Amino acid sequence: MADKLNVQTLTEETTNLTTTVQGIVGHTKTKTGLAKVLADEHAKALLTTTVATFVNVDMRFNVGMKAIGEICCNVLDKDEDLQRKVIHALCDAQGIARTDETGRKGLAMALFAKFPEMFKQVKSGKDTYAGQRLTSYMHAYKADKGISNNGPRQTPDPNQPRSAKDLFSKLYLSCTHNDQITLVRIAQRAKINYANWLPEEETATK
């Protein structure tokens, strides 16, 4: 696989794409500026091609992000010694100083060491941008697989109401006749349109 990926080329091309996108932004801020871009065939082609290219790259990146998220989850699930070996390998591959940190912090340091701006504290002061970015990778993977951040997705309890209509129906069907009258009166007082929530046989008699 290594002979098929040229990191330098990928870096240069994505940098050029990002720079072009940023250069176009200013021309789209005003009606006059955007009109000038559309009136110039070269500028219009640059705008449309750049935006379309960026979206295509983003869609492919989205697939890769989920895969990287799964790798990160798998690494962080291992013991510290194995985590450290992966982190050292990432540092060595990028020609950056090794860190002996493990866990989420150590992995974030290895992944984003070449981007010092990523280690600024976010406004809350509880995390860095690098940490948040790493978390976004893992969340993308977990969301795609239906995994909760607190563990595997829980099977919904069929006995729990899923909507206001469901709740009203469950309450109504479990009530005595007098309770049903009280429930309907409460719904009327609260100006809740409950008529369509009643069982069909009850609707015909109300």
The pLDDT tens digits for 54-73 are 888 888 888 889 999 999 99
Task: Please give the distance of CA 2 from its chain centroid, rounded to a whole number.
Answer: 29
Q: pLDDT at position 161, please?
A: 63
Two tokens, residue 48 = 């449309």
Q: pLDDT at position 192, please?
A: 82
Contact 172, 165 (CB under 8 A): no
Q: pLDDT at position 200, please?
A: 59
Q: What is the residue extent of each domain of the chain?
A: 2-152, 164-203
* Signed CA dihedral, 68, 70, 76, 82: sign only: negative
81-90, 138-147, 169-178: least confident range: 169-178
Q: pLDDT at position 154, please?
A: 46
Phi, psi of 102 (to 5 degrees): -125, -170
Q: pLDDT at position 145, please?
A: 86
Q: pLDDT at position 202, please?
A: 53
Q: pLDDT at position 203, please?
A: 47
Q: How many whole angstroms separate alpha carbon 11 and alpha carbon 116?
A: 17
Tell me which amino acid residue 80 is. E
pLDDT at 108 exceeding the cut of 70: yes
DSSP string, 58-86: HHHHHHHHHHHHHHHHHHHTS-HHHHHHH
Q: pLDDT at position 149, please?
A: 63
pTM greater than 0.85 (yes/no): no
Run of H or E including 152: strand 151-152
User: Which of 175, 167, 177, 162 is closest to 197 using CA atoms?
Assistant: 167
Q: pLDDT at position 132, please?
A: 92
pLDDT above 70 coverage of the chain, percent: 87
pLDDT at 148 exceeding the cut of 80: no
Q: pLDDT at position 205, please?
A: 45
pLDDT at 153 exceeding the cut of 60: no
